[in-house]
Structure 1
């Protein structure tokens, strides 16, 4: 234990900064653009997967995801879409959303599974968050995610 109060304070401050930095590691290491979305009072830092190549990789091979971090998949137009968890190590929930951000349905997905999880109707977006995030925040089908549309097509 450090006896010098100044060193102890600096050590504690350094530990707090390390925790903060580790909480945002997934986003910080991303090569994708990041946007801020709102689910009611909840802010979401979401990587944007807007190209076919980025959507195919998604959150594969990530070992962690921050508490309010996720990925939004922009399919550029309304379409029937399905998601899977090939090479995805973190359990996720996915919210399928129409062009104005209204959630159509939410599905829980298990790591490294090839099981398809599909939108119940044509959607423009899919938002992946840590599994249980939507439920813990009281967000369900019919709720709206603010911050979309992301592009000019709808």
Structure 2
């Protein structure tokens, strides 16, 4: 699928979602509503290689119910690192149906790889401990992920 077609398909999938500016200094990313059980998440969507590489870099804080959803083009063992990321994060790697495969805690400003334990196309970053504080473990489901 061409980059333009992929972006158009993603935009169509997000059309019913609430879109809002995601950053004060940087490109605006679409924000969608996700749920994890009774918890609501406002997730910025990073879908291009540049958006995913930048991720949550240089931010000094992240609201408690805010996160970033990474949407990779192909399933694979996805790995995340924390270069230039100032806040501690937890990342949940997700199957296409939203089931959490594994969750990794990541220390700020490190380049240690934190990888999915099976091929996935989606990962959700939240403040460190967010999943644990809510009792969300592998096998739990995140709802509202756009279809590809």
TM-score (norm 1): 0.79
Structure 2, gaps ≥5 residues long: 1-20
In structure 1, the residue matched to 2:100 is: 103
In structure 2, the residue matched to 1:125 is: 122
In structure 2, the residue matched to 1:54 is: 51
4+ runs deviating over 6 angstroms: none
Q: How many residues align?
A: 126
Structure 1, gaps ≥5 residues long: 1-25
In structure 1, the residue matched to 2:142 is: 145
Larger radius of gyration: 1
* 3-state DSSP of counterpart to 1:134: helix
In structure 2, the residue matched to 1:37 is: 34
* 3-state DSSP of counterpart to 2:131: helix
In structure 2, the residue matched to 1:115 is: 112
Matched, 1:84 2:81: yes
How far apart in 2 are the matches of 1:151 and 1:113? 32
Instruction: Please provide the CA RMSD for this pair.
Output: 1.3
Contact 1:76–1:151 (8 Å) recurs in 2: no
How far apart in 2 are the matches of 1:76 and 1:46? 18
